[in-house]
Structure 1
Amino acid sequence: MRELGTALERAEAVLNRVRSESTGIAGRARRRRWAALVRRLKLAMIAALAVMVAAAVLGLFVPLGIGGFFLAMVATFVVAGTILFWPSVPETTPAALVQTDIRLLPQRTEEWLERQRPALPAPAVRLVDGIGARLDALAPQLATIDANVPIAVELRKLMAEELPELVAGYQRVPVNLRRDESRGQSPDRQLVEGLTTVDSELARLAGQLAHGDLDRLATQNRYLELKYRGAGE
């Protein structure tokens, strides 16, 4: 019976991985990596073109000759290669999340979560994908928020401290003890319940932000109505 349960969990993990490759947290991470690569390619092409144009302009005033031509080509490859292969931004760590700007925190937290997925049980992976979707939707709401308002402080604590500590605490438990229920709930079950709580809290806080935006929009609309329609009447 235990072997059957293990086999089912493995099959579910494979299905979750395949599903998330296109629509989940892993899919969004892959799209961001492709977008970053495309940006680098564009920058490399622009830089190479700039070097070639500069060499051509210089050649109008100073004869470059064969040596100058090869030097310009080398400079072009060096500049383009430097842009393409320059080390990318270091991987986000829980310590770095605490220092991250609130406007960038949802994406950085999602990127960190994406790297933790392989070490999590299948039920937790589904919840992580859902949390990733909430973080992705939350990013535009935090684009203009004051980092010192209470809801921003609460969101920062949840994303940068409590969520990473929950996942890291689970990962510190030896693998052979993660399903052990001798002390009550197993670590696997505790992780799932903790992630469920995080998901619900993110939904609640995102709802509060949305209500605030709706209230401000309604207030602005009412102000315009009173100012212009009232004046016309």
Structure 2
Amino acid sequence: MSTERFDRVIQRADRVMRQLDERDGAVREAARRERQRLNSDLARRVSRVGVAIGVVSLITIIVGLIQPIGMFGFLAAVGIAIGIAALLGFMPSGKGNATAPAADLPNGAMVQRFDSYLYRQRGALPAPARAEIDAISRVLPSLKQTLERIDDLNPDAQDARRLMSVHLPGLIDRYINVPAEFRSHKDGEDVTVDERLVEGLHAGRDALAEVAERLARSDVAAFETQGRFIQSRYGEDGQQLLRPGDSKDRDMIES
């Protein structure tokens, strides 16, 4: 088999494996969330353009009522509206880039931006690392739901925020900066760059899962405490809801 034919076979196999990989549930869910984010950003852009055109139109009408603007004034207003619409419509939002979340984002927005970052960087990583990325992605929806309800300064939230904005993106970005031919070289601990990436992602995944579990256990404990309070305060059958002296109503309940 010639070298060119061998390369074509490898490329085809890689393409088939990538297509099969993208059918996995975690990847499919990550892609769905990314589409939702893109659609939401598009809707906000359209809304801003509509508001801007409405403001220009309103100003043009008001000026026209005070002093006729003529055809050239009308064309100028149309040109201004088109320019503003183009500026707002095509201005980069930063959400389409594979950049790490900013450290000052609120909890919920940070999880969303980190989710998008992982999805966009996933294709540049080796297969074992992609498996770790998928495992992290599975944790993010429930983690976002929990983090949105707590303060950014909560210690558990701070741990999660550092992982999502600094440690894990830093690991991935530094890996991508390593030339491909050096990624299989072993270091002094007999570990390759690829293996080090997988180990780091695995440790980060465990840390995020631990934070999510601690927060979930805290919610469960709060729920159990509330349930025990209601049971002890009002008792069975709601009889303690009656005020002392409502003997007639109590007799009706007991009968």
TM-score by length of 2: 0.72
Q: How does 1:35-114 map to 2 (within 5 A)?
A: 35-89=40-94, 91=97, 93-94=99-100, 97-114=102-119
* AA matched with 2:48: L
Match of 2:35 in 1: 30
The alignment's C-alpha RMSD in Å is: 3.3
Q: Deviations over 1:44-67 (max 9, x none)?
A: 123213322332344334323222
Q: CA deviation at 1:120?
A: 0.6
* AA matched with 1:186: T
TM-score by length of 1: 0.78
Match of 1:131 in 2: 136
Question: Of the two structures, which has the highest relative contact order with CA contacts closer than 8 Å and spacing of 6 or more?
Answer: 1
Tell me if the contact between 2:22 and 2:28 (Cα under 8 Å) persists in the aligned partners: no
Where does the alignment leave 5 or more consecutive residues of structure 1 unmatched? none
Q: Deviations over 1:163-219 (max 9, x none)?
A: 223323433443123234586343323322332232233222212211212222333
Match of 2:152 in 1: 147
* AA matched with 2:81: T
Match of 1:193 in 2: 199
Q: CA deviation at 1:83?
A: 1.6
Tell me if 1:178 matches 2:183.
yes
Cα separation, 1, equivalents of 2:136 and 2:36: 18
How many pairs were matched up? 230
Match of 1:115 in 2: 120
Tell me if the contact between 1:25 and 1:132 (Cα under 8 Å) persists in the aligned partners: yes
Cα separation, 1, equivalents of 2:113 and 2:203: 20
Tell me if the contact between 1:16 and 1:125 (Cα under 8 Å) persists in the aligned partners: no
Match of 2:226 among 216, 220, 226: 220
Q: CA deviation at 1:79?
A: 2.5
Q: Secondary structure at the match of 2:73?
A: helix
Cα separation, 1, equivalents of 2:194 and 2:181: 11
Larger Rg: 2
Match of 2:212 in 1: 206
Q: CA deviation at 1:142?
A: 0.9
